[in-house]
Amino acid sequence: MADVMEIRSRANPRYKELKQWQRAGASAPVLLVEGVKLIREATAAGLRPQALWTTPACDVTFNCRTYQVPAEMYGAVSPTRSGNAPLAVFDKTPLLKQKPPSQGRFLLLDAVQEPGNAGALIRAATAFGFDGVIYALPGCSPFHHACIRASAGTVFHTHHYVLSEEALALWLRENALPVFGADGSGRALGGIQWPADLVLAMGNEGHGLRDSVRARVTDLVAIPISAKVESLNVAGAAHILMYAVQNAR
């Protein structure tokens, strides 16, 4: 069992550093994961916690440095403000990959903003056997605490590629993967022949796919829906399309 160091002062340098990371959110140099279930998902994926923060009421320990703080101090650094200790600190670099490969199936999130949507999309991509998720900036980070929670921990079990709009445009030009974009003006889903390797591009919640992505799209795909509904939520549409891709295989 790990030794537990009690911290009672908000001026403690380790506590102040944790608070800085919590304020930085997804841009912090480390990954903050709260709750026993999610921490166990992260360790099951091969990540090892650098440190664990608990409260006197929380008796959970992992094999790492453990700091115990009063409940009110923990609440000030909780990413979710829930006070649901424990909170683990991980190195997030093993999850981030530099550049997507030229083979495989990838979900592209083109400036998708909502962490809840991104988390649901990550979960579905993992469930339907996609090889990774590409994030075109500006957009939600896969390491936003709400995204981690919405993914139910599957964020730790897939590869993530975060690219600027320019870097994405260059990668799309350089590789031969066909790109299928979700769009209401596209061909009906039932008429699409899905290849083994592809990129499935989902656009921003309000504006859809950007012109730089549309310029590289092989085919636009539309999901037939009732005229009473203007469009589907991006996560709901992606679930349908990824199921169709998996079913074709």
pLDDT number for residue 238: 94
Q: Residue 1: pLDDT above 60?
A: no
pLDDT number for residue 2: 61
What own/partner pairs with CB < 8 Å and gap ≥ 24 does 96-102 have?
96/160, 96/161, 96/162, 97/132, 97/159, 97/160, 97/161, 98/161, 99/161, 99/171, 100/132, 100/134, 100/161, 100/171, 100/175, 101/131, 102/175, 102/176, 102/177
pLDDT number for residue 154: 94
Q: Residue 239: pLDDT above 90?
A: yes
pLDDT number for residue 10: 96
Per-residue pLDDT reduced to its tens digit, 8-61? 999 999 999 999 999 998 889 999 999 999 999 999 999 999 999 999 999 888
- Write the CB contacts of 118 (distance below 8 Å, at least 6 apart in sequence): 109, 112, 135, 139, 140, 142, 144, 147, 150, 151
Q: Residue 81: pLDDT above 90?
A: no
Q: Residue 222: pLDDT above 70?
A: yes
pLDDT number for residue 84: 85
Cβ atoms within 10 Å of 207's Cβ, excluding its own: 9
pLDDT number for residue 221: 93
Q: How far apart are CA 137 and CA 109, in angstroms?
A: 9
Between residues 206 and 127, which one has the greater pLDDT? 127
Are the C-beta atoms of residues 178 and 248 closer than 8 Å to each other? no
Q: Which residue has the tokens 């859809």?
A: 208
Between residues 232 and 47, which one has the greater pLDDT? 47
pLDDT number for residue 249: 72
pLDDT number for residue 88: 96
Which residue segments constitute the domains of the chain, with CATH numbers given? 4-94 (3.30.1330.30), 105-248 (3.40.1280.10)
Per-residue pLDDT reduced to its tens digit, 175-216? 889 999 988 888 889 889 999 999 999 988 888 899 989 989
Between residues 106 and 82, which one has the greater pLDDT? 106
Per-residue pLDDT reduced to its tens digit, 146-172? 999 999 999 999 999 999 989 998 999
The region of weakest confidence among 34-38, 84-88, 224-228 is: 224-228
Length of the chain: 249
